[in-house]
Structure 1
Amino acid sequence: MTRLQTAFAAIDQANSADPNQSDGQPVELLYGQRMTEEQLALYPDASEPLRIACRGQHIERWKLPRHDFPMDRPGYLAWRTEQGRRHAARVAEIMRAAGYGDTDIQHAEKMLMKQGIKRDGDVQALEDVACFTFIRWYMGPFSQTRDPDEMLRIVEKTARKMSPMARARALGEFAIPEPFASAFRD
């Protein structure tokens, strides 16, 4: 196996332990595979650190439940920051075991901790992939649990995180109804 295949296998093995199930599969295993599908479609020539960051973005996410933090905006942001730190550390461990050097590992860590979004191409690419994964696979079911005004704010925040290329592509690939589609045109 190549280093990349070894890293993917280790991430998938870790995420196979997720006790939460969706479509008969562990939730985070399915999420990682979906992230890879979107990465291949959006950024087929991605570097190996970006490919690994996409696959491992939610590695072992269930180990730090959201309810362990205050259920307000600051609590959510603290939880998300800690998740990014934990994901980066776990992916770094896997990359090191697969034979990657410090430069590649540090680059993947930077992406997973979202350091340089809108300034670093790979960090932005990871965010684009995450947004496409959300839109394609999770936004429909998620929207059924939110009121329309709240959902509009969520879609607007999602669109703002995306690159201009990804926003334009989203408009072409997804049937996004108004007023949500206007968030992708700004």
Structure 2
Amino acid sequence: MSKYDIALERIDAAHKDDPTTITINTTTLPYELHYAQQMTLYLERLDPNASELLRLAIRAQHLRRWEIPRSSYPATKIGYHSWRGALQREQAALVEKICVESGYTEAEAARIGALVRKADLRKGDPDTQTLEDVACLVFLDDQFDKFEKDLGDEDKIVDILRKTWGKMSEAGRSEALKIKLSERGECVGTEGFGWLSVK
């Protein structure tokens, strides 16, 4: 096996420990493994020639996310950002360790960790932007309808859609317009924001 295959196998093994499951077409699997597979699927659509390092960072985006629950931080904006920061640091450290043990250099592993942390997003790093695009696309395709239903606050949903759209590159937005939301999701997107109306 190549070092890439070894690292990928180890990342997926960590995902398989997720106690939350999802059932799709009678197949049940750990949710974070499903999420990781969706991330890879959208990376293939956006950048089929992506480097190994980006592919591994994409696959590790939610690495052992359940170990630091949102409820462990205050239900405030500051609490949310503190939680996200703690998650990203833990996930980056874990994937760096996995990658070094799989045969990658310290520098390569550090690059993967930086991508997981989205460290250079504001500096215009193209790989970090691709990761952000992919995460937004998976949110819209795989999570948005349930999120909208659970939250039940149209103003907040519209604000989240606006922020999601604002995070994406033109390539990401183009792919987002291909996503089929539920009837309710389409309604919120069209009436509240308007970006879906260009379909």
Counterpart of 1:123 in structure 2 is 128
- What is the count of residue pairs matched by the alignment? 185
Q: Distance in 1 between matches of 2:3 and 2:134?
A: 22
Question: Does 2:139 align with 1:134?
Answer: yes
Report Cα offsets for 1:140-172 as digits up to 9, x if no partner. 111111211110001111111111221123124
Q: Are the equivalent residues in 2 in contact too, given 1:159–1:184 (CA < 8 A)?
A: no
Q: Distance in 1 between matches of 2:146 and 2:97?
A: 33
- Give the one of 95, 99, 115 matched to 1:111: 115
Q: Are the equivalent residues in 2 in contact too, given 1:155–1:183 (CA < 8 A)?
A: no
For structure 1, the 5+ residue unaligned runs are: none
Identity %: 35
Paired residue secondary structure (2:121): coil
Counterpart of 1:180 in structure 2 is 193
For structure 2, the 5+ residue unaligned runs are: none
Counterpart of 1:149 in structure 2 is 155
Paired AA for residue 48 in structure 2 = P
Q: Are the equivalent residues in 1 in contact too, given 2:177–2:196 (CA < 8 A)?
A: no
Q: Considering only CA atoms, is the larger Rg found in Structure 1 or Structure 2?
A: 2
Residue pairs, 1:1-186, within 5 angstroms: 1-23=1-23, 24-118=28-122, 119-146=124-151, 147-174=153-180, 176=186, 177-178=189-190, 179-182=192-195
Q: Distance in 1 between matches of 2:7 and 2:70?
A: 27
Q: Distance in 1 between matches of 2:103 and 2:35?
A: 25
| TM-score normalised over the length of structure 1 | 0.93
Q: Are the equivalent residues in 2 in contact too, given 1:171–1:181 (CA < 8 A)?
A: no
Paired residue secondary structure (1:106): helix
Q: Are the equivalent residues in 1 in contact too, given 2:140–2:179 (CA < 8 A)?
A: no
Q: Distance in 2 between matches of 1:184 and 1:160?
A: 16
Shift of 1:42: 1.2
Q: Are the equivalent residues in 1 in contact too, given 2:46–2:171 (CA < 8 A)?
A: no
| TM-score normalised over the length of structure 2 | 0.87
Stretches (4+) displaced over 3 A: 172-177
Shift of 1:2: 1.5
